[in-house]
Amino acid sequence: MSHPQHKSRGNLGVRLFWWSQAVFLAAVVAVPTVAGWTRDPRPRLPQFEMEPTRVEPLHDNPLIVTDEQLAAVLKKLEPRLRHSQPKINYVDHALRFWGVDATFQDPACLSGEELRKLLVDHEAFQAAWGKDTKPLMSLRNGLVSVRMQQGNATASHVDHTLASLAECGTPLDFDLSLPGQIVPLRSLLASAVARFEINQQEYEWTTLAAALYATNGSSWYSVDGERVDFNRCAQRLMRQQYQQGVCYGNHRLYTLVMLLRIDEQKSLLDDSTRSAIADHLREATRRLIASQSPEGYWDQNWPDAKSAARDEKLETPLSRRILATGHALEWWATAPAEFHPPREVLVRAGQWLAKEIDSMDQSAIEKNYTFLSHAGRALRLWRSGE
Amino acid sequence: METVSAHPRPTEAAHMPLTPVLSERYALTAGQFGVVAVLTAWCWYLSYIPLFYAVTWRHAMVGQWIAEQNALPRVDPTLALADGMEWTTTSWLSDLSFHLLERAGGALALQAALVVLVGGASIGLARLFYVATSSKWWMLAGLAFVLPFVWTRVGVLRPELAGAGCFVLLLLMWQRLRTEPAPNSATGWAAGAWLPLLMAVWANLDGSVLWGVVALACFALGEFIDGWQERRDPRLVARDSGCRWRIWLAQASIAATLCTPLGWDLWRQAASLATSALGASFGGLRPMLVASWLGLGLLATWALFGVLLRYGRAAFRAGDVLAFVAFSLLAGYNESLAPWLAVVAASILIPHTAQLCRDRDWFGALIGAAGGSVSGDVLVVAPVPESGNGANMVSAGQAGTDSPEETAAKPFQFAYSLAALLVIWVAFALSPLATPLLGGKPRPLNRIYSPNTPHAIAEFLRGQSPKGLVWCPEEWGDWLRWNGPAGIKVAVNSNASILPRIVRQDYAQVARADGTWTRTLDRYGVEYLAVDKQTQQRLADSVQSTLESWTVVYEDESALVARRKEAGE
Check A199 against B251: CB less than 8 A apart.
Answer: no
Res A4: pLDDT: 53
Check B567 against A244: CB less than 8 A apart.
Answer: no
Res B14: pLDDT: 56
Chain B residues within 8 Å of chain A (Cβ atoms): 81, 83-86, 238-239, 241, 244, 247-248, 251, 264, 267-268, 271-272, 275, 500-503, 506, 522-525, 564, 566-569
Provide, rounded to the nearest whole percent, the portion of chain B with pLDDT above 90: 59
Residue among A14, A21, A243 whose CB faces B567 most closely: A243
Give the residue from B95, B122, B114 showing the smallest Cα distance to B50. B114
B306 burial type by CB count under 10 A (0-12 exposed, 13-18 middle, 19+ buried)? exposed
Give the residue from B125, B120, B175, B161 showing the smallest Cα distance to B146. B125
CA distance A123 to chain B (A): 36
Enter the DSSP assignment of B286: B
Residue among A197, A242, A304 whose CB faces B502 most closely: A197
Spatial contact of A206 and A190, defined as CB atoms under 8 Å apart: no
CA distance B371 to chain A (A): 34
Residue among A38, A201, A243 whose CB faces B523 most closely: A201
Residues in A closer than 8 angstroms to B264, CB to CB, are: 31
**Mean of the pLDDT values across residues B273-295?**
80
Provide, rounded to the nearest whole percent, the portion of chain B with pLDDT above 70: 86
Enter the DSSP assignment of B409: -
Q: How far apart are CA B173 and CA B216, in angstroms?
A: 11
Beta bridge partners, A171, equal none
Spatial contact of B523 and A240, defined as CB atoms under 8 Å apart: yes
Residue among B84, B267, B268 whose CB faces A226 most closely: B84
| Residue in B with minimal Cα distance to A287 | B567
Check A14 against B239: CB less than 8 A apart.
Answer: yes
Q: How far apart are CA A165 and CA A116, in angstroms?
A: 8
Q: How far apart are CA B269 and CA A31, in angstroms?
A: 10
CA distance A316 to chain B (A): 21
Checking if the pLDDT of B539 tops 60, the result is: yes
Half-sphere exposure of B282 (CA within 13 A, CB side): 29
Enter the DSSP assignment of A294: T
Count contacts between A and B (CB, < 8 Å).
89
Checking if the pLDDT of B59 tops 70, the result is: yes
Spatial contact of B117 and B109, defined as CB atoms under 8 Å apart: no
pTM, full prediction: 0.85
Q: What is the pLDDT of residues A30-61, one digit of tens each?
A: 877 776 666 567 888 999 999 999 999 999 99
Res B373: pLDDT: 43
Query: Beta strands B489-490 and B469-471: pairing type?
Result: parallel
**Mean of the pLDDT values across residues B547-568?**
86
For residue B443, name the pLDDT band (cuts at 50, 70, 90).
confident
Angle between helix A88-98 and helix A112-120 axes, rounded to 10 deg: 140
Check A35 against B271: CB less than 8 A apart.
Answer: yes
SS3 A369: helix
Check B86 against A39: CB less than 8 A apart.
Answer: no
Give the residue from B328, B337, B334 showing the smallest Cα distance to B301. B328
| Residue in A with minimal Cα distance to B271 | A32
CA-CA-CA-CA torsion for A162, A165, A171, A174, nearest 10 degrees?
-80
Classify the C-alpha dihedral B529-B532-B535-B538 as positive or negative.
positive
Q: How far apart are CA A377 and CA A97, in angstroms?
A: 5
Spatial contact of B549 and B518, defined as CB atoms under 8 Å apart: yes
Q: What is the pLDDT of residues B175-226, one digit of tens each?
A: 988 877 777 766 667 768 899 999 999 999 999 999 999 999 999 999 999 9
Q: How far apart are CA B254 and CA B502, in angstroms?
A: 37
Residues in B closer than 8 angstroms to A20, CB to CB, are: 248, 251
Check A24 against B251: CB less than 8 A apart.
Answer: yes
SS3 B278: helix
Q: How far apart are CA A210 and CA B194, in angstroms?
A: 55
Checking if the pLDDT of A1 tops 50, the result is: no
Spatial contact of A251 and A223, defined as CB atoms under 8 Å apart: no
**Mean of the pLDDT values across residues B533-549?**
85
Average pLDDT, chain A: 92
Q: What is the pLDDT of residues B367-424, one digit of tens each?
A: 544 444 444 444 544 443 333 333 333 333 343 445 554 545 556 778 899 999 999 9
Checking if the pLDDT of B505 tops 80, the result is: yes
Better-scored residue on pLDDT, B362 or A132: A132
Residues in A closer than 8 angstroms to B569, CB to CB, are: 307
For residue A11, name the pLDDT band (cuts at 50, 70, 90).
confident
For residue A3, name the pLDDT band (cuts at 50, 70, 90).
low
CA distance B523 to chain A (A): 6
Give the residue from B391, B358, B392 showing the smallest Cα distance to B373. B358
Spatial contact of A380 and A75, defined as CB atoms under 8 Å apart: no
Classify the C-alpha dihedral B36-B42-B45-B50 as positive or negative.
negative
Res B93: pLDDT: 97
Res B15: pLDDT: 59
Residues in B closer than 8 angstroms to A7, CB to CB, are: none
How much is the ipTM here?
A: 0.86
Task: Flag the least confident range among A231-240, A313-322, B504-513.
Answer: A313-322
Q: What is the pLDDT of residues A140-171, one digit of tens each?
A: 989 999 999 999 999 989 999 999 999 999 99
Res A10: pLDDT: 62
Residue among A20, A197, A303 whose CB faces B248 most closely: A20
Residue among A199, A242, A306 whose CB faces B500 most closely: A199
Res B6: pLDDT: 47
Checking if the pLDDT of A337 tops 90, the result is: yes
**Mean of the pLDDT values across residues B143-168?**
93
Q: How far apart are CA B53 and CA B494, in angstroms?
A: 10
CA-CA-CA-CA torsion for A82, A85, A86, A88, nearest 10 degrees?
140
Res A305: pLDDT: 84
Res A42: pLDDT: 82
For residue A115, how many other CB atoms are within 10 A of its CB?
A: 28
Give the residue from A102, A43, A9 showing the smallest Cα distance to A376. A102
Residues in B closer than 8 angstroms to A13, CB to CB, are: 238, 241, 244
Q: How far apart are CA B25 and CA B389, in angstroms?
A: 4
Res A347: pLDDT: 97
Res B374: pLDDT: 40
Centroid of chain to Cα A321: 23
Enter the DSSP assignment of A155: B
